[in-house]
Structure 1
Amino acid sequence: MVAGGMDSGVLRDETSWRWRDALPSLMDFVRIPALSPAFDSRWDETGHLDAAIEHARAWIASRDIPGASIVVERLPGLSPVLVVDVPATSGSTALGTTLLYGHLDKQPGLDGWSEGLGPWEPVMREGRLFGRGSVDDGYAGFAAITAIEAVQAAGGEHPRCVLLLETSEESGSPDLPAYLDHLAGILGTVSLVVCLDSGAGDYERMWLTTSLRGLASVTLSVSTLRSGVHSGMAGGPVASSFRIARALLDRIEDPATGKILLPELHANIPADRIAETEAAAATLPGAWQAMLPLQEGMALDSEDEVELHLLNTWRPSLEVIGADGLPLPADAGNVLRPSTTLRLSFRLPPTVDADTAVDTITRTLTADPPRGAHVTVSDTEAANGWNAPTAAPWLADALDEVSDTVFGSPWRALGVGGSIPFMGLLHEAHPGAQFVITGALGPDSNAHVPDESLNVAFAGRITEGIAHILHRAATSM
């Protein structure tokens, strides 16, 4: 028995069989090649996103949840979203809405899957469901609905719950702000956000994401000649455009350590985030060496476990993610190329303003160009990160309950090096909300790459944990 009269044993049984019952429909979802709009510009014609929405809608409708409203929202020119509104149970004392989030769009299938596996054919093997969208993020809607049903069946309470499943997340959620504005009256005041699109450091406990890095991207172009010239004629007197680009990058990044040299791209790390990171590092010794496909003999940028986590979550970093003006090696001739273009992607600390970062990067790269080269910065992109509010006492108690009752291991929290734009948008719109950002994306889930898979048992325990949190939210908030 847990606080508020819900039977935890019944909750476990109800979650278990309902989760197993949902798996065939999740497997059918894997078969839908619902590529995100960034990877399918004709998505409105191919119909795969609509098929994914309809698949989720039909399954949820078949559950016959009392009082539930199920609506597919379609704004002109935007990818659709599915909104499921479930009224609070009669004994709930919670004020405001609990918003549960997931997404139905997918990354491309890609080649290179292991023998017997493929992106669009679900395969159950050794407790894992393989297929694109299984863990990122098809399971989320099934888990959210299962948690709500299990709470009701176990005699518990839950607040008013709104499940929002979007279809543009893998493209950076460009369509979501318009829907949040459109749905503002329906959502009302959001007091709790549950996101099932994040990761887990291991499969022994519930992991919370408490911060997300921001993003700044720019295209740097350096031109020294109006056209290419034989390197035997011009090599030496004329500076290489690549050398100038390299010198410009050295203004921003220490080439020996990778440290970003611009103060505007750094942030003070809150003490509670450092404490969380220390606890996570102690829980996962050697995680980075085990998780990353390092070449033999390749050393990481720090030998300190805590610093490795902070480098990925609270320190800025730079990667050159694309280039133009460089022929393939097999096609390369002895030419002094006229220009070099690089696409630069910066990960930013959660609390750094991304627009300020882009402005600083642009000024630094374009000021006083070496040798008078033509230097431009274009195609800028900025997305702020997110830092979670401190957990309210009721939520901290609920997480401890989940640790004791569901997992038998203490929960842990850690920042994530990537971005979920939805979190920042929601935090701005509902600054008083509590956040539970969690998920089943374990260290070997292979999201975005071949052999994506969902640890089915772990996802079931995450579902059970969310059910406990919903009950606590209804009886403690």
Structure 2
Amino acid sequence: MKKTEQYAAQHRERHLEELKELLRIPSISTLSEHKGDVARCAQWLSEALTDSGLEHAEVMQTAGHPIVYADWLHAPGKPTLLIYGHYDVQPADPLDLWDSAPFEPEIRDGKIYARGATDDKAQFWIHVKAAETMLKTAGTLPLNLKFILEGEEEITSPSLAPFIQQHADKLKADAVIISDTPMLEKGKPALIYGLRGVAGVEISVQAAKNDLHSGLYGGGVPNAVHALVSLLDSFHDEKGQVTVEGFYDRIVTLTEKEREELGRVAQNEEKIRKDLELSELYGEEGYTFTERTTARPTLEITGITGGFAGEGIKPIVPAQAKAKIACRLVADQRPEEIMKLIEKHVAAHTPPGVKATVARILQGNPFLTPSDHPIMVAASHALKLAYGEQTALTRGGGSIPIVDVFERLLKTPVVMMGFGLPDENLHAPNEHFDLDNFDKGLQTVTLFWDELAASETL
């Protein structure tokens, strides 16, 4: 047994008791009455980072909740990693659905139950204890580390981007490591190397100045709902492709290797169809369900309003109608460009007699780290060694804004090395974290650091 594994085993109970202390702090960023608890948690972490052998630990104030920073920078010529985590948690409601008090951690059946266990306190605690383990056994680290732990992730991290911009030199690193995502399932590790971005707009159609009596005007004036339906129908062709001119121009096409990797983790389409009680699935021709929902861009109509929606029928010709649209974007699409293309499409396809306007509502950039990047290769290898299973390389269909913030502002690759499981009830009652992944996660991290330190390509 390696010295690091021996130390981790010998000190496991203490590491978990310290984790319990962290989990007892109700650092709920969404509720103002817990502002003091969030600040207390930041201070606790600053002291814990120092106790673990890290240096320059400090609680740094922002316009909102504080950010905790620490580092260890005594490996000249070796890579520098910036490890991100968030110490804020969601509210615990509804309390009556918990089997144990949400802020009184309990270990049952090899799992630790508490609010914030998997999202994200136990996951970043792995890295803290990995640093301690290596420092205590070797007296040094094989590379340089920086930690940034924020208290606003659950409220969309409003202070993070300004903080990074202000302290870009302090946070400079060769890569950012985030452990706040799930593995495929127990015993099956995964790295997420891509996330989709988002562009959301609202289309408003105006016909006459007000609703009109359908008996007096029906068939003789434009109907705003008819016009909107015609306009919305123009966004897709019969093959499920988006027909907005230029929509696909900037996308990074899936390679055959990527399609092969995604095929390894592909979902059972027939099971999905049956579970959703659908007669058939839908999507862009030529792609699997997994590819459509993680690696291809989409344009979805998410809501329509117009005319009379109450009980019975009101015989009118509607003067107004609206629709909300959300696009999921992939690298290298940019939401500003997509929204501009949608505006042009709307202008070109608006039926005669009505006016259509587009309001920009929501935007976020997609993210992609090449799966063959040296740091991804090293991370994948470390996970395979620790778990004894091939690491799955996957993409996420949703968006995690902080990932784009780091990549864009620090211009560095981001590795999402998650140790959670899909069924650990994050944001729900009985949130928990499997302690087998605490042990294997710590082993993974130390192997990863050793491998990166020996690499000559990062």
TM-score range, shorter chain: 0.7 to 0.9
Structure 1 segment 378-389 matched on structure 2, within 5 A = 378-389=359-370
Residue in 2 that maps onto 1:40: none
Once the two structures are superposed, what CA deviation does each residue of 1:123-164 show, in whole Å capped at 9, x if it has no partner?
Answer: 665544556543333334323212222222343624332221
**Aligned residue identity for 1:278:** E
Q: TM-score, normalized by length of structure 1?
A: 0.80
Which aligned pairs between 1:72-471 and structure 2 lie closer than 5 A? 72-75=59-62, 78-88=63-73, 92-95=75-78, 97-106=80-89, 116=99, 126-129=109-112, 132-155=115-138, 157-187=141-171, 189-231=172-214, 233-254=216-237, 258-262=240-244, 264-266=246-248, 267-270=250-253, 274-282=256-264, 284=265, 286=267, 294-301=275-282, 307-325=288-306, 329=310, 333=314, 335-367=316-348, 369-389=350-370, 391-393=372-374, 396-397=377-378, 399-404=380-385, 406-431=386-411, 433-448=412-427, 452-471=431-450
User: For each residue in 1:165-191, what CA deviation from the matched residue of structure 2 results, as whole angstroms up to 9, or x when unmatched?
Assistant: 22443444443221111111322x311
Equivalent residue for 1:39? Answer: none
What is the TM-score normalised by the length of structure 2? 0.83
Contact 1:277 1:306 in 2 (8 A): no
Distance change in 2, residues 1:211/1:121 (3 Å): same
The Cα of 1:52 is off from its aligned counterpart by 2.6
For residues 330 and 143 of structure 2, what CA distance do their matches in structure 1 show? 33
The runs of 5 or more residues in structure 2 that have no matched partner are none
Q: Is the 8 Å Cα contact of residues 15 and 464 (structure 1) preserved in structure 2?
A: no
- For residue 462 of structure 1, report the CA deviation from its aligned partner: 2.7
Local SS of the residue matching 1:72: strand
Q: Distance in 2 between matches of 1:11 and 1:410?
A: 27
User: 1:353 is matched by which residue type in structure 2?
Assistant: R
Aligned-partner residue type, residue 260 of structure 2: E
After superposition, the Cα gap between the structure-2 partners of 1:109 and 1:330, relative to the gap in structure 1 and judged at 3 Å, is farther
In the alignment, the residues of structure 2 paired with residue 446 and residue 292 of structure 1 have an alpha-carbon distance, to the nearest angstrom, of 24
Please give the secondary structure, in 2, of the residue aligned with 1:377: strand
Among 35, 43, 57, which residue is 1:57 paired with? Answer: 43
Structure 1 286/368 Cα, relative in aligned 2: closer, same or farther at 3 Å? closer
Compute the RMSD of aligned alpha carbons.
3.7
Distance 1:383 1:113, change over 3 A: farther
Work out whether residues 319 and 345 of structure 1, in 8 Å CA contact, stay in contact via their aligned partners in 2: yes
Q: Name the CA distance, whole Å, in 1 between partners of 2:417 and 2:337.
A: 29
User: In the alignment, is the contact (CA less than 8 A) between 1:210 and 1:413 conserved in 2?
Assistant: yes
**AA in 1 matched with 2:381:** D
Contact kept? 1:57, 1:70, Cα under 8 Å = no
Whole-angstrom distance in 1 between the partners of 2:284 and 2:300: 21
Deviations 1:419-452 (A, max 9, x none): 2233333333444x44321213433245456665
Instruction: Point out the structure with max Rg over C-alpha.
Output: 2
SS in 2 for 1:265: coil
Q: Is the 8 A contact 1:15 1:463 kept in 2?
A: no
Structure-2 change in CA distance of 1:47 and 1:402 (3 Å): same
Identity percentage over the alignment?
22
Count the aligned residue pairs. 453
The structural deviation recorded for 1:28 is: 1.8
